């Protein structure tokens, strides 16, 4: 009944065994601030880290916010006021 869920579907047919393979200890999906912070934390543990993004590294909210990301760091500013 749920067979279709387990079938892999691709836009084009290909054989995975013929593709270039990359091996890493930690795979981070996303190259925005969250992914990069996770990658730094993982790298600090001395493991190999690879980051993949769905597009160029410049295509992220993090990149578009280069003018500065406001954050509540010190009182009297706070998280609720920041929202």
Q: How far is the CB of 1 from ligand FAD (least distance, A)?
A: 28
Q: How far is the CB of 68 from ligand FAD (least distance, A)?
A: 6
Residues 26-45 close enough to bind ligand FAD by CB under 6 A:
29-35
Count of positions (residues) in the chain: 83
Which position's Cβ is nearest ligand FAD?
32
Q: How far is the CB of 26 from ligand FAD (least distance, A)?
A: 15
Reduce the DSSP state of residue 27 to 3 states and report it: strand
| Cβ contact 62:35 at 8 Å | no
| Window contacting ligand FAD (CB under 6 A); options: 10-18, 25-33, 40-48, 73-81 | 25-33
Give me the sign of the Cα torsion angle 24, 5, 35, 65: positive
Going by the DSSP 8-state scheme, the letter that residue 44 receives in this structure is H
Reduce the DSSP state of residue 40 to 3 states and report it: helix
Contact residues toward ligand FAD (CB under 6 A) are 29-35, 52-55, 59-62, 64-65, 69-71
């Amino acid at each position: 009944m749920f067979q279709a869920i387990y079938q892999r579907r691709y836009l084009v047919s290909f054989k995975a065994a013929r593709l270039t393979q990359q091996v890493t200890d930690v795979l981070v999906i996303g190259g925005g601030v969250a992914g990069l912070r996770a990658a730094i934390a993982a790298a600090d543990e001395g493991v190999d880290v690879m980051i993949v993004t769905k597009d160029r590294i410049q295509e992220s909210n993090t990149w578009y916010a280069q003018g500065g990301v406001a954050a509540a760091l010190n009182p009297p500013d706070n998280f609720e006021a920041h929202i």
